[in-house]
Chains A and B, each alone.
Chain A
């Protein structure tokens, strides 16, 4: 019997490759997912849910990495994970910092009060310039539904801003 030494030290090659693939996944999909979760749940809860879904992705990495639309899966998983947090009004945490302001300072507050789907669609498409197909993939709805939510959301924003102007 000859001496057999398998792997002197450090991570095993399989685990190293898995960790690298996961880091690549998070770097690629993490920012978009964080934006979508923030638009859906607000900045604070969105960050909490983001941490939860990243942990979930690692836990179920074998199946997540094989998905066609992992970001969409994790966004939906985030909606389940968010149930553990107390229900509270969505707060985007947006604070205008320049004078004159870059945008109507009333806008964040009105945006927070939109229905969830309209707010998410408006943030993704109008604030972050996502295409309707990209937003539809993450939100798990059709492209036409995204456009409808954006249209209705913008109409509600105009209506509310106009009403407050009067």
Chain B
């Protein structure tokens, strides 16, 4: 046999070697240490350290805040609230209020526009990631007067978490006795519904919220694959959900038990 023939005949054996190597489990992290000198891995490591530090600082701040409140957690005002049923299945959740709103503001000592929404205690899910009773970030606040004498504030909030995108909650307030104690009238979206969003829009008698979610628990956190826009219309006494809610799952880590 010539050398060229030998080389050509070697192909099946080399194919077997390639196929065998491709099916072998990848080697463990020995060459993947920071010392091995990959800038990308170093960046990931630095990011992980930053997240850990941020989480630690968040816990410390939370503990400090809790100690100032004495009993650990400030009481949550859930009067008049109808929470949608939390779901961990593919069944659509109901994100509409069922209690009619009062046509007169029950606690209107302070106009809603003067409420300091950052200091309000929200009835958001008690758990956010691995943090219980998390601090809350206020996203969008919209004001509406869908009927005569009815002044509402629609507030989008999310728990503050070190990393990832936590689900949002949307609450409707119809009055306030002080700048930090508005009266909660309805919950349009609960954190346990598992929707991510950041673009609440209040337009006259309609409220719309583009949301993102997950069709199954196996979908990675980076890439929500369910997208829709939830729309509520003022029916005369309450906001009613008029858009379809596609099947999606909630994340237990964010209170979607």
Interface residues of A (CB under 8 A from B): 1-12, 15, 34-35, 38, 43-44, 46-48, 50-51, 83-86, 92-97, 102-104, 107-108, 122-123, 126-129, 154, 157-158, 161
- The residue among B7, B20, B223, B229 with the most chain A CB atoms within 10 A of its own CB is B7
5 further interface pairs, Cβ-Cβ under 8 Å (given A4-B208, A43-B18): A2-B231, A5-B229, A7-B246, A43-B20, A46-B21
B9 touches A103 (CB 8 A): yes
CB-contact partner of B17 in A2, A6, A95, under 8 A: A95
Residue of B whose beta carbon sits closest to that of A4? B229
Q: Which 7 A-B pairs have the closest CB atoms?
A: A93-B17, A3-B243, A1-B206, A43-B21, A103-B6, A47-B21, A102-B9
Q: How many residues of B contact A (CB 8 A)?
A: 47
B18 touches A5 (CB 8 A): no
**Alpha-carbon distance A123/B93, docked complex (angstroms):** 59
**A to B CB contacts below 8 Å, 25 in the list:** A1-B206, A1-B208, A3-B243, A4-B243, A7-B226, A7-B228, A9-B226, A34-B18, A38-B17, A46-B18, A47-B18, A47-B24, A51-B26, A83-B37, A93-B20, A95-B16, A103-B13, A107-B6, A107-B7, A107-B10, A127-B7, A127-B14, A154-B4, A158-B3, A161-B3
Residue of B whose beta carbon sits closest to that of A91? B17
Does B76 belong to the interface (CB within 8 Å)?
A: no
A108 touches B246 (CB 8 A): no
> In angstroms, how far is the closest chain A Cβ from the Cβ of B240?
11
Does B203 belong to the interface (CB within 8 Å)?
A: yes
Residues of chain B from 1 to 50 with CB closer than 8 A to chain A in the complex: 1, 3-14, 16-18, 20-22, 24, 26-27, 30-32, 36-38
